[in-house]
Amino acid sequence: MSESCLSQMEGGTTQKFNYHSYIFSTMESTLEALSLLLKNGYVNDAFTLLRKYIDLTIINVYFLVKIDKEQNMERIIIQEIDGWVNGINTLDKISKLREYISDNFQYPQIEDFFDDVQLKSIRDTTNDFTHYNTNEKIIANDSRFHMKNRREYYDEIYSNIEMVFTRHFAFLSLLRPYYFRSSDLIDHLDMGLEPPEGSQTWVMSSITQTYEWIREEYNSELYEFLKSNSCMDI
C-alpha cells in the first residue's frame, strides 16, 4: 500500500510527496514488531504497540476525511495537516480526531459493522497495559512467569488487530479506493503499450484477497456494502 499510493498526490500540504505512504509503511513496521514481541512473550509491550497501531489508523483516516471536507471548501493547504507533516505542530488528542471522523465521514453507517463494545474494550485494555495500571500488566511482559490467562491475552490481541485492520481497510476502501489500484495501467503506459480495457479499476491481488476474506470469514454484509460503494472492480 505504501508503494502504490506514493505516486498518488494527496492534497492539504505544501509537500510534493504523499505522506500517507510513510504512514502505511510505519503501520507495516509496527505490526512486524508486534509479531516479534508476541513470539518472545512480551505481552505488555505488544499491547502498547497495538495502541500505537490503532492511533496510526485513526490519524490516517482523520487526515483523509479532513482533506475531503476542506478541499470541498476550496482550501488547498490545510494548516493543521501541513504543520504536522512539516514538524511545526502536533495534532489534537486521538479522542478529538475520532469525534471529527464520526461527525464528518460520508458513510457513518460503516460503524454499524463494528462492535462498539469491543472498540471501547480495546482502548481500555491498551490503556491499562501502557500505564501499568495493575501488577499483572508488568508480569505479562516476562515470559518466564506463568500466567494462566496468557493465552487469552494472545487471542485478544489477534482479535483486536483483525478488527482494527478491517475497520481501517473499510475506511480506505470508501475514502481512497484508487490506492488499491493494481500496477497494470501504469506498467503498460510506462512501456508505451495500450493499457487493457478497464485496467484503471483493477485492484492489487492482495486487495482482492482481503475483500474475499471479508466476504467469506469476517462479514459478508460489510463486503457487499464496500462493493456497492466502490468505483473499483472488486
Read off the pLDDT of residues 16-48 as tens digits, 9 standing for 90 and up. Answer: 778 889 999 999 999 999 999 999 999 999 999
pLDDT at 199 > cutoff 80: no
Residue with cell 516476562: 142
As given in the structure block, the three cell numbers for residue 41 are 512473550
Q: pLDDT above 90 covers what percent of the chain?
A: 68
Q: What is the DSSP string of 147-192?
A: -TTHHHHHHHHHHHHHHHHHHHHHHHHHH-GGGGB-SHHHHHHHTT
Tell me the mean pLDDT in the region 196-211.
Answer: 87
Tell me the mean pLDDT in the region 174-199.
Answer: 82
pLDDT at 55 > cutoff 70: yes
pLDDT at 158 > cutoff 80: yes
Q: How many CA atoms lie within 13 A of 62 on its CB side?
A: 21
| pLDDT for res 215 | 97
Structure confidence at residue 72 as a pLDDT band (50, 70, 90): low
| pLDDT for res 42 | 95
Answer positive or negative: Cα dihedral of 127, 130, 132, 134.
Answer: positive
| pLDDT for res 32 | 97
| pLDDT for res 6 | 64
Tell me the mean pLDDT in the region 136-161.
Answer: 91
pLDDT at 218 > cutoff 90: yes
| pLDDT for res 52 | 95
Q: Angle at the Cα of 218 (from 169 to 39), degrees rounded to 5? A: 80
| pLDDT for res 190 | 77
Domain ranges of the chain: 20-180
pLDDT at 8 > cutoff 80: no
| pLDDT for res 229 | 95
| pLDDT for res 143 | 86
Read off the pLDDT of residues 83-105 as tens digits, 9 standing for 90 and up. Answer: 999 999 999 999 999 999 999 99
Structure confidence at residue 58 as a pLDDT band (50, 70, 90): very high
